[in-house]
Structure formats: structure tokens, C-alpha cells
Chains A and B, each alone.
Chain A
Amino acid sequence: MSKILVFAEFQNNKLKRSSQELLQFAAKTGHTVLGFALGTQAGAANAELAHHGAQEIHFVKDASFDVYNPELFTAAVSEVISKTGATIVLASAGSTAKDLFPRVAAKLNAGVISDGTEITIAGDDVKVKKPLYAGKCFATGTFENATVKIVLMRANQLPVAAADSAKTAPATEHTFTTPSLKTIIKQIVKGTSEKLDLTEANIIVSGGRGLKEAGNFKLLNDLADVLGATVGASRAVVDAGWVPHSMQVGQTGKTVAPSLYIAVGVSGAIQHLAGMSGSKVIVAINSDPNAPIFQKATYGIVGDAFEILPKLTEEFKKALHH
């Protein structure tokens, strides 16, 4: 039996859904699951980690880890991986893990596969399916000569069942002396959105040039509010300055994989599709029946966004809030 270490992440002091996915998945492999948390909330979150399947908890309760610093995190995370003897490491492919774990892999001479959409662990054999060439093809990544195997999974790819609040796990606190750092995080400028990031959102409502002008994104925001969705955009409207680049979906924006992606007034250019074709269900709303987006869509409405959006918002309100 091997040890799987799951790098746990939190938002507003709650274990992220993506971390729940990984813990619950790891618990089904037959290996020992180690939940690992860093920062002020570490320690307080131990019970939550156990409820989702961690059998051992390792944590560093230290406020210097509340802000991500690549050098600091690389040193601490590598040390804990080595100390615990974990040979498989799972993390969610968000901005922290994607930055951190390749550096950890270099330090530990380990293998790393990023952006997985499917994972199987049979004994010590770890296989990860991931999109390549902007989603135009898939391949299965396998490890060789790697004593530590690190996998970064996209969010929303694995099921989450209810937590079992009866479960408990022993916890080990690790302390860590900060080395001298050549990286200083000076400031964090908060984003405009309080919502889930696009890369983690379960529902995305995305708008394109078909919305005609920046002000009309209000129609999308209204729909997103009812659905608890995050709003995305095409590059055309980002370039036009209607919305910030952080909202761009596509090859030069974000790659997303929600359960539901609603594209409104988006033509479906190949570079846009590259970022969202991994979505489970795609709804396209477009006035042009020949728009390429319809070739990728599960459901389509050919029509005027300005007419349909308010209707949708109204109907969703009725359907979801009674």
C-alpha cells in the first residue's frame, strides 16, 4: 500500500469542491490518504479533511502560507512529501498548484502531469488522461522512473458524495523555518468577482460579440446570478475592452470544464472551442444557424439573445426557486 498525499485548498475557510473530489477519489484507491493543508486555517480544517476521506492529516499552521510564494511553498511542500513518504500527490490544477508542483517535481526529481481530466490508480500504476493541442486530441500520461508521481486534475472531473461526519483521522503538525527568499509578494490586488473562478465553476454563462455592447453583459450577469454561475467571455469582447482578460475563455484565455456551459452570441471559433469543449453540456444561443458553435453544442437555440436571455432568467428563477 502506498501513500497518496492530497494538497488541500480552501476558499472562505471552506474546503474547495475540487479538493473534496480528490480526497474522495483517493479514498477509493485502497491506498492510505494523507490530507495536507497549509496556512492559518490549517488545523481548524482537519475534521473536514477527514470527513472527505483523509486517513492521516498533515498540516503547517502558519500565516506565512496564507499568501502563495513559489519558493516558500516549494521548500515546505517538498519537505512534507519526503517526510511522509508519499509517492502519489494529487492537487487541483488551479493557479497555485499549476505554478507550484512543477517546481516541486524538479526539486524531488519527480514526474508531473498537469490538467488531467481522467485518472486511474491501480496499485502503483497511475494513468492520467489529458487534453493536448488545445483539446484537439487526448493522450494518456504514464509515469516511468518516477518515485514520486504528481497529478494535477482539472476541477469538476470527479464525483463528490456527501461528507461522512463520523470519520476522524490523526493529525500531525509540521513546523517549518522560512528560508531566505528571493521572492517577495508585495501586494494582492483583489479581483472584481466574488464568484468561483472560471476554471472551477460548475456552470458558466459566456458572452460574445453578439451581445453588441459592454452594457448588455448585465443580461448575462442576471442569468448567472440565478444559476449561481460564473460569467465568461470570448476574446473579441475582451479585446474590445468590454470585460477584463481574466474572463476570457479559450486558447489564450482560460480552459474550463464545467457541467454546463451556456454560450450566448459566441460564434465558436476554434480558439474559443479550445477552452471549453471539455464542458459536459454545452448550450448555444446564436442568431445564425450556421454558427460553428452549434457543431459542439448539446442544445441549441437559434434566435436573438436579447429576446431569449430575459426569458431564460425568468424561467430559471421559477424552476430553481420554488
Chain B
Amino acid sequence: MRPNKTRPNKTRPDGAGADRSRPEGMRLDGQVAFVTGATKGIGLAVATDLARAGATVLLNYRRDVERAKHALRAVAEHQPDAALVQGDVADAGDVNRMFAQIRADHGRLDALVNNAGIASDGYALMMGDAKWHSVLDTNLGGAFLCCRAAGRLMVRQKRGAIVAIGSTSGLNAPPGQANYAASKAGLLAMVRVLAKELGGYGIRVNAVVPGFVDTAMTRTMPPADLDAYLARVPLGRIGRPEDVASVVRFLLCDEVTAYVTGTTVVVDGGMTC
């Protein structure tokens, strides 16, 4: 008997060899997906990934029109029906307007990705009210408003999937992030509550918790801090937005996760294990 040959590992340990351009499975053809904070970083990676999988992606942005147009062009290369939806998720009026627009334009919503988030760090005893409220209002309040509005659309359909993007800060509560960590920890609790409340309507609600991911937020870190973080990551590299996006798609796809709700998937290279 011939010895088994070891198959070459096409996916290198650093993940760079993984071909994410052709998602053969986990298709989302014909689905309408709304991604908040979709014009950069993880949000843009998610929007792009969902469009590659066939979904009509609606990209939410708050202010930067030029960046939004640039993001739309990138996403529309994969799915020409993609569109921009302007609005501040922390503003209830904006959220209601955006979802009314989605209902009018598409008549349905299959997937919501609550990604929009901000950070504004500072030690708690010196943290001003505005800094506290702005982070909570966007990261947690915005997710609540979007879930409520999306849920009302999905209840009618008796199906839908929601994914909230958390953060390992919500798990390990680092100093200087009382507002951010509280918002992300609260998000995980809200996901579990919503999973229980909406499960009876066929709506699944899950969370993805990215660790240290290469985004504009992390690129401004001092190199020494970056090295310290990397030393705690068993997989030995910083995450890419695409690493998170593929897990979001996994959780949105009924084909593979129809029986998964109320759970949290940590995508951090093992940092918190």
C-alpha cells in the first residue's frame, strides 16, 4: 500500500492563502442584507463578502459621502444591486427613516449586521458624560434601534438573521474602556435576549466578537502596544477584516446555521481562550 501523501496545505498558517473570493457554499442569493457602518474596516469586509455570496447589500454610513461612494463601488463589483443608506444609528428618527426606506424599496429584510461602532477611550474617573453617552448610544443604543426596526420587518416574514459585532473588550474589560467595554458586553447580553424573544418568529440572533483586527482603529496604536497584543495571540498574527466577515456570513446563512441562535463566536486568533 502506498503511503498517504501529505496534501499541500493551500491555506498558509497566516491565512493569506485562503481564497475567499469564491464562496462556493453559504450562498445568500436573493437576500437583502443591511450592514451598519459598512464603508470601512470590518463593516466593508462584511458588505463585500455578503455581496460576493449573492446578497443585495445595503451599506449604511453616517457622514462621509465620498468614502461611502467608494465603498459602494467596491461592493457593487460583486452585486450591482448594492445601495447606500445614510443615517446615524444612534438617532431613532434616522433609524426609523432608514428602515422605512428599506421596506419601501425592497419590501423585506433577510439579514441585519450591527457593525457601526465608535471608541472614545479614557479612564473612568475622568470620563466626561458626553464620551460615555456617545459610545453607549452608538454601539449599544444603535444596535437596539436597528434590531427593533429590523425585527418588525422580519417578524412579518417569519424569518431573518441578525449578527451583532462585539469586541473582546466586552469580554476582558480593559482599563480605559469603561464605555466601550460596557457597550460591547451589553451587546452580547442583548443578543441573547433577542434570540429568546425572536426565536419563535424564526429569527436567529447571534454575535461575532473580533479580537485584534487590522483596521483604522488599530493602525494608530503604538508599536509597543501592538507587539504586546500579538504576544497574546496563539495564531501569531493580527486578524484581517475578512476573517470576521466569513464568520458573519456563516451565521447569517440558514443553509449551515439554521439551528444556531443566541450564541457568540469569538474570532480572535485564540487571544481570549
Do A and B assemble together?
Answer: no
